[in-house]
Chain A
Amino acid sequence: MAKVIVYPPTSMILSDLVERMGHKALVVPQAVRNLVTANEIDSPPLNVTPEEPKKGLRYAAVDVPSGVRGRMSLIGPIIEEAEAAIIVGDPGWLTGCAGCSRTNELVRLLIRTKGIPVLDLSYPTNDPEARAFVQKIKTFLEGLK
Chain B
Amino acid sequence: MIRIAQLSCGSEYSGIQQEIERAAQTVGAKIVYPEVSLDDILNVENTFGVSVASGDLNLAMARAVRIVQNPDLADAVIVMTCFRCAEAAIIRSEIRKYIHQHSKIPVLSYSFTERTTAETLLTRMEALVTTVKFRGLLARERQKGLTAGIDSGSTTTKSVVMRDNEVIGTGWVPTNEVLKSAEDALEAALKTAGVAKEDISAIGVTGYGRFLVGKHINAKLIQEEITVNSKGAVFLADAQKGPATVIDIGGMDNKAISVQDGIPGGFTMGGICAGASGRFLELTAKRLGVDITELGKLALKGDYRNVAMNSYCIVFGTQSLVNSLALGCKPEDVAMAACHSVAEQVYEQQLQEVEVKEPVIMVGGTSLIEGLPKAMEELLHVKVRVPKYAQYIGAVGAALLVSGLLED
Q: Which residues of A contact B (CB under 8 A)?
A: 42-46, 48-54, 63-71, 74, 93-94, 97-102, 104
Contacts and interface: CB of A to CB of B under 8 A. Distances in A.
B82 A66 contact: yes
Nearest to A74: B13
Nearest to B112: A66
B90 interface: no
Contacts of B52: 101
Contacts of A74: 13
A91 B52 CA distance: 15
Interface stretch (B53-61, B237-245, B357-365): B53-61
30 contacts: A42-B18, A43-B15, A48-B12, A48-B13, A48-B14, A49-B15, A50-B14, A50-B16, A50-B115, A52-B15, A52-B114, A53-B15, A54-B114, A65-B82, A66-B13, A66-B82, A66-B113, A66-B114, A67-B9, A67-B82, A68-B10, A68-B85, A70-B12, A70-B13, A71-B13, A93-B38, A93-B42, A97-B55, A99-B10, A99-B56
Contact of B15 (A48, A68, A102): A48
Interface in B312-366: none
Nearest to A73: B13
A44 B11 CA distance: 11
B85 A102 contact: yes
Contacts of B87: 101-102
Nearest to A67: B10
Interface string B275-311: 0000000000000000000000000000000000000
B176 to A, nearest CB: 34
Given A93-B42, A97-B55, A45 B84 contact: no
Contacts of B38: 93-94
Nearest to A100: B54
